[in-house]
Structures are given as structure tokens and as C-alpha cells.
């Protein structure tokens, strides 16, 4: 793991974030396609023709994928920059031992990630269909549960960034294998998520 300066680390962390955005886009797209296939083609949706279902796949898949990718960039760009600058500082002053500072950086980055999500994304967005008497506006703020969820997302993103850099320095082939593996995992997770959403939709058909 090279020492480097803050600008080099920032570029590296942002490159890895672009890959995370790609992974999120693939996961979201696969989930949507899987859900539509099971709802409209396997189960049979009496409220929508199969032609309309195909049109939805063609039209909405790139839209959902783009939204997922943009969401990742909005929420995690600032935390990635914070970690990259901090890592450059730690490695410059403590050498390779500075890498252990990641144990402090990730929890702090998770706080920053949450507030980026909380205030930079439309968390209180309402289409009108959820504005029933039981609906309450979104309450901003970081709770223990929200923090643990954000930390659970932040940890793999940061570890992916560090692992990617390490593998590329040691063996570019292993770095590509890591990418392929994550792409397969995202595809599988997206399919499982889409299937679960389809099962939930069956009750409304």
C-alpha cells in the first residue's frame, strides 16, 4: 500500500466509488427486471399486459440503475474524500502502520455518510399514495439503528477501496477477479431482492 499524497488517494477512492456506483446500478436493474418477470410473466398480472411489462423493463431499468448510481455518488463521495485525505495523512506520518487508522476512519465516515443521505437526498419525498392517516413525515436525525445500518454499508465500501488498491499493486489479474466476483454477487443479490419484491406484490394482484 503506497504512501502517496492526498490527491492521489482521493483519485483512488473516487475511482473505487465509481465502481460501487456501477455495482449498485447493476443490483437495482437486476432487481427490477426480476420483479417484473415474476409478477407479469411467471405469476401473471391481470392489470398489465406483457407488452407493457416489456416496455417497463426497457424504459425503467436504465432509469432505476441511474438513480441507484447517483444515490451512491451523492451519499458516499464526501466520506470517500474524507477517508482518502485522512489515509494519506496517516501513511505519510506513520508509514504502513497508518493503515490501522482505518479502524477510526470508518465509524467517522459512517456518520458523514448518514448526514449526506439525510440532507442531500429526498428522504421526505411523498408521491401522495403514502399520505394516509397513518403516514408521518420523515424525521431527520441519526439514531443508533440508523447508524448501525449506515456503518454496515460503509464498512464494505471502504474495505473494497483498500482491497482494490492493494490487489492492483500486487496483481492486476487478482484485481479484475475481485471486480468479476462482486459483479456476480450483485447480480445474485439483485435477483433475490427482485424475487422477494415480486412475492410481496402477489397479494395486490
pLDDT band at 134 (very low <50, low <70, confident <90, very high): low
Q: Domains of the chain: which residue ranges? A: 6-121+142-204
DSSP 83-145: HHHHHHHHHHHHGGGGGGGHHHHHHHHHHHHHHHHHHHS-TT---STT-STT--PPPPS--HH
To 5 degrees, how large is the angle CA 159–CA 179–CA 152? 30
Q: What is the pLDDT of residues 11-56, one digit of tens each?
A: 888 899 999 999 999 999 999 999 999 998 988 888 888 899 999 9
82-96, 133-147, 149-163, 187-201: the lowest-pLDDT one: 133-147
pTM of the complete model: 0.86
pLDDT of residue 127: 47
Q: Answer whether residue 182 shows pLDDT above 90.
A: yes
Q: Answer whether residue 130 shows pLDDT above 80.
A: no
Q: Which run of H or of E encompasses 203? A: none
Cell numbers describing residue 180: 468479476
Q: How far apart are CA 97 and CA 13, in angstroms?
A: 19
- For 2, left (φ over 0), alpha (ψ -120 to 50), or beta? beta
**Cα Rg of the chain (Å, integer):** 20
Residues ≥6 apart with Cβ < 8 Å to 73: 17, 18, 21
pLDDT of residue 88: 85
Residues ≥6 apart with Cβ < 8 Å to 23: 182, 183, 186
Provide, rounded to the nearest whole percent, the portion of the chain with pLDDT above 70.
Answer: 87
Amino acid at each position: 500500500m503506497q504512501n502517496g499524497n492526498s490527491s492521489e488517494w482521493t483519485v483512488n477512492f473516487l475511482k473505487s466509488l465509481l465502481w460501487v456506483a456501477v455495482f449498485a446500478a447493476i443490483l437495482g436493474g437486476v432487481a427490477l427486471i426480476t420483479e417484473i418477470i415474476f409478477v407479469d410473466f411467471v405469476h401473471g398480472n391481470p392489470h398489465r399486459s406483457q407488452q407493457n411489462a416489456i416496455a417497463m423493463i426497457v424504459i425503467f431499468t436504465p432509469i432505476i440503475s441511474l438513480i441507484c448510481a447517483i444515490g451512491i455518488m451523492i451519499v458516499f463521495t464526501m466520506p470517500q474524500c474524507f477517508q482518502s485525505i485522512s489515509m494519506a495523512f496517516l501513511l505519510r506520518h506513520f508509514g504502513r502502520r497508518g493503515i490501522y487508522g482505518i479502524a477510526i476512519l470508518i465509524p467517522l465516515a459512517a456518520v458523514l455518510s448518514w448526514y449526506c443521505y439525510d440532507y442531500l437526498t429526498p428522504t421526505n419525498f411523498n408521491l401522495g399514495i403514502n399520505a394516509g392517516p397513518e403516514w408521518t413525515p420523515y424525521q431527520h436525525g441519526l439514531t443508533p439503528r440508523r447508524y448501525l445500518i449506515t456503518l454496515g454499508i460503509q464498512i464494505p465500501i471502504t474495505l473494497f477501496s483498500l482491497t482494490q488498491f492493494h490487489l492492483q499493486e500486487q496483481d492486476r489479474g487478482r484485481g479484475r477477479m475481485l471486480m468479476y466476483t462482486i459483479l456476480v454477487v450483485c447480480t445474485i443479490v439483485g435477483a433475490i431482492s427482485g424475487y422477494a419484491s415480486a412475492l410481496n406484490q402477489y397479494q395486490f394482484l
